Structure 1
Amino acid sequence: MFREAEENDVGEIVKMLANDRLGKTRENYTHPLPKQYIKAFEAIQSDTNNELIVAVLEGHIIGVLQITFTPYITHQGGWRATIEGVRTDESVRGKGIGSKMITWAIERAKTRNCHLVQLTTDKTRTDALRFYEKLGFQATHEGLKLKL
């Protein structure tokens, strides 16, 4: 059900990312697909500390997430996993696919000896925040971003 994304999956991934209230404002799902998406995919594929994972059901991509593994000097040189870009296809929302994806990512982080899994969600995504809290995540830090 879960596998690493392949280049021919990128269009479906971008379509899912764009099919969202916030994604509509920041993604560019057009034909042909803008080349920057393929370049990003290639960079992810070439980095052993990045994985772009898709959930597949009956041959169709129904979910996506990216997991990045980062070594830190803090926490005695421990590794962290960061989960980003989580989306499920609207046809399967509310059916437990998102929970299975996050649980899979947590288990993947354990296999990489991570001591912590972290993620962010936009403050306006209150449903997403509740979803992550139900899975055991806690809002222990205040996150800040600077757009460049």
Structure 2
Amino acid sequence: MTSVAEPVFRRAIRADLPALIAIFAEDLVGGHGDTTDPAFFPHYERAFDQIEASNCDQLIVGVLEGEVVATAQVTFTTTLPSRGTTNMTIGAVQTRSDLRGKGIGAKLIEHCIALGKARRVGLIQLMSNAKRVDAHRFYERLGFKKSHAGFKMVVEAPPAAT
């Protein structure tokens, strides 16, 4: 692993959107159809505003030398099972492709774990596409265990450009 300068992690701001969109658009495995086409920016802006307004969601960015290079979203969910425990889910974890393997992703996950501990969560879980075998090994190295099978159902097509 080649070392780079220490990234700084913080909540995303609207000005980070172009860099975040570019990071998601370079991901061909997820199949989310993300694109840097400006016609779709209003969709990303609406989603960002909704995440930013939520008390249960945080969009985190990793900044290195002034550039957004990594991201994750954490969601806090309080459930009745486990006596009303609050759990945290980490999702949308991405590091810019040219900086993978340099420790940024591990530091990002460590930051997310610290957020969960600060909120006194009882469980931290994450989701990863079944095709991301390398990512699964990465998460296991960080202490996560495979424990559940996931299922999904697409109920509507992504919104068209406006």
1:58 aligns with: 65
Alignment partner of 1:20 is 2:27 = yes
2:160 aligns with: none
Identity of aligned residues (%): 36
What is the aligned counterpart of 2:142 among 135, 142, 145? Answer: 135
TM-score between both structures, scaled by the size of structure 2: 0.87
Distance 2:133 2:141 in 1: 12
Distance 1:69 1:58 in 2: 30
For the aligned residue pairs, the C-alpha RMSD in angstroms reads 1.2
What is the aligned counterpart of 1:45 among 52, 59, 64? Answer: 52
TM-score between both structures, scaled by the size of structure 1: 0.95
- Cα deviation, residue 67, structure 1: 0.4
Is this contact kept in 1: 2:29–2:131, CA < 8 A?
A: no
2:115 aligns with: 108
* Matched AA of 1:61: V
Alignment of 1:75-94 (within 5 A): 75-94=82-101
How has the CA–CA distance of structure 1 residues 120 and 132 changed in structure 2, closer, same or farther, with 3 Å as cutoff?
same
Distance 2:85 2:30 in 1: 32
- Cα deviation, residue 25, structure 1: 5.2
- Cα deviation, residue 120, structure 1: 1.1
Structure 1 regions of 5+ residues with no counterpart?
Answer: none
* Matched AA of 1:95: K
Structure 2 regions of 5+ residues with no counterpart?
Answer: 1-7, 156-162
Distance 1:58 1:48 in 2: 29
Distance 2:24 2:31 in 1: 8
* Matched AA of 1:132: Y
Report the number of matched residues.
Answer: 148
